[in-house]
Chain A
Amino acid sequence: MSPVEIGLISVVAIVLLIYAGVYIPIALGLVSFVGVWLMRDNFDLALNLLKVAVGDSVMEYTFATIPLFTFMGLMVSKAGFGKDVYEVMNAAFRRLTGGIGMATVGANAMFAAVTGSSIASASVFTRVAVPEMLRYNYNPRFAVGVVAGSSVLGMIIPPSAMLIIYSFVAEQSVGDMFLAGVGPGLLLAAAYILGIFLMGRFTPSFVRLTNARENHGVDLSWAEVASKTLPLIGIIVIVLGGIYTGWLTPVEAGAAGAAVALLVAIARGRMSLQDFWQALLQTGHITAAILFLITAASLYSRMLGLAGLPMQLSAILEANQLGFFWVMLIYVVLMLFLGTLLDTASIILIVAPLFLPIIEPMGLSLVWFGIVTVIGAEIGLLTPPLGISCFVIKSTIEDPSISLKDVFLGALPFAFIMLLVLILIIRFPVISIGILA
């Protein structure tokens, strides 16, 4: 067998093994190891590659962004700031049909700017926003759909674990990736709100079960609004402002954000010693899991390089005169397909190394490509059978009458809106990388 064939079989084997339930870093590591061994018929070379991948790849300064931003996000979630922002947004949108839905999106967008995880967003807002919507006779499917749809904002609006993971795979600056995520995240949030407005106008029965006037939420005084939002705004300004002005590196921004989040949580009396320790423990677990995954992925991309698979792929594309449009179409369809089988991080780690060597010579921005990759892979969070956001919502929700199927069906319009926004972002790169100019 030629190296290219072995490489191709390895990629398929990794996808199948992950689907069968093999730990993702183990699937990446083991198959890559065997792949290199067979390709070169040299066991020692494969061992050596393993040594280099594990031994050297973790010694990276910017890896510290992962524990720091994870810790910051956990502090903010445990201190109940998601609920605060939600109450403010709810007051702002209180007179519109579907207003609670729009408030959920708005609150998620803001919450996303201080957490890097869709899982955190999904579980917080399932607890806060879904009961509120059900109380006002919203369609249960719509209620869970909004939460699922807007939870993906957590991964697109910086800080985001997925943007960090991509930045390692593509060797791009974490700071650039973060800044490029701002525009697309806001655009997606705005598209969701517009979508909810249109659904309320044209398919009101999908949104609410009654036509009675909704008058949800309570008016808040400006002092209350300030006390509920200023801490988060402060953290956002420190983190993104610090990175944008170049005053802080992403690592320092993460550390400063984590410290401020901790101080605010303590000042509010919302952090017990127990919570604090749990957050630290969880941070370590998440860091270890993500960085081990990245280590295994670096072994995988070395294996791909040895197999010459990316070069083969670009030769095929060139021979068939496939330009920008077809490359992007193939890429997005591939990600949507994998999104039904794999989780977001695996999709990014498996697909991006294959396409990066094709995208770069085309003169396209790898930062822009990263945003496309993350959003494309995130659509999978909302689609069956493995939409993880939907699973989290189902497992957090207390109402047994809402089935997993309801969550997926409710999330479907939002997955569609995501796809439309993705197309816009592909067509108009300025949405993402304009901020860097």
Chain B
Amino acid sequence: MLRLSKPFDALYRPLAMVSRVANVVGTLVVLGLVVVVNTEVIARGVFNKPFNGTVELVQLSVVLIVFLQLPDVVRTGTLTRSDGLLLVMGNTNPRFSKFLRRIIDLASAFLMMLIAITIWPELIEAWETNHFFGTPGIFTAPWWPVRLAMVFSAVMCSLLWLCKAFGDDAATDEITEAPDSSTS
């Protein structure tokens, strides 16, 4: 592993940086979402002037939040998993546990690569045809930023997982505290 891990460790640092930046942008979108929906509620309830296009903006922001922040979720190792068995094995057979973690990360990288490959033509099409979503005449937004966020996210996740599978730096950069996800 020693020789193989080198290029992945070199690749990891810039990747981690990009995922952090995307995370901050996604975080600002969360704030924007709170502001937009509240503005609409007040505009409609108090001034009786509903703001058209809130639905589209909300849809767009959810996509951006998910796909901009997913790489950082992968980087910090906080994607939902039940790691009870891995932890127990980490105590009794740490080498096998580590090996299993690398295999899992490799499989994850593979799935994300498939997603990137399958969304890519959609991105090209959205870019070239300039397709829009929403209700024409009221509010429309182009598709391509959505597709771009998806491809970016899938590629980033895939690369980050490859670094975790083969590199040494990425694997140690995980947060090992109690899960912060509310999925349980």
Q: Report if A285-B183 is in contact (Cβ < 8 Å); known contacts: A24-B82, A50-B118, A343-B80.
A: no
CA distance A33 to B82 in the complex (A): 21
Which range contains the number of A residues in contact with the other chain?
35 or more
Count B interface residues, CB 8 Å.
62
Task: Say yes or no: A255 contacts B33, CB within 8 Å.
Answer: yes
| Closest chain B residue to A18, Cβ basis | B82
Chain A residues, Cβ within 8 Å of B85: 19-21
| A108 interface contact, C-beta 8 A | no
Interface residues in A31-67 by Cβ distance below 8 A to B read: 33, 47-48, 50-51, 54-55, 58-61, 63-64, 67
Task: Say yes or no: A68 contacts B80, CB within 8 Å.
Answer: no
Task: Say yes or no: A23 contacts B62, CB within 8 Å.
Answer: no
Task: Say yes or no: A388 contacts B66, CB within 8 Å.
Answer: no
| A289 interface contact, C-beta 8 A | yes
Q: Mark B73-103, 1 if CB is under 8 A from A, else 0.
A: 1001011111111100000000000001100
| B55 interface contact, C-beta 8 A | yes
Task: Say yes or no: A259 contacts B79, CB within 8 Å.
Answer: no
Q: How far is the CB of B57 from chain A (nearest CB, A)?
A: 10
Task: Say yes or no: B82 contacts A21, CB within 8 Å.
Answer: yes
Chain B residues, Cβ within 8 Å of A70: 182
CA distance A396 to B179 in the complex (A): 12
A-B contact count (CB 8 A): 214
Q: How far is the CB of B96 from chain A (nearest CB, A)?
A: 12
CA distance A61 to B180 in the complex (A): 24
Chain A residues, Cβ within 8 Å of B29: 284
CA distance A70 to B181 in the complex (A): 10
CA distance A256 to B63 in the complex (A): 21
**Considering the complex of A and B, which 6 residue pairs feature the smallest CB-CB distances, nearest first?**
A255-B37, A117-B182, A21-B86, A288-B69, A51-B118, A284-B69
A interface residues (Cβ-Cβ under 8 A, vs B)? 18-26, 29-30, 33, 47-48, 50-51, 54-55, 58-61, 63-64, 67-68, 70-71, 73, 116-120, 123, 161, 165, 247-248, 251-252, 254-256, 258-259, 262, 277, 280-293, 341-346, 381, 385-386, 388-389, 391-392, 395-396
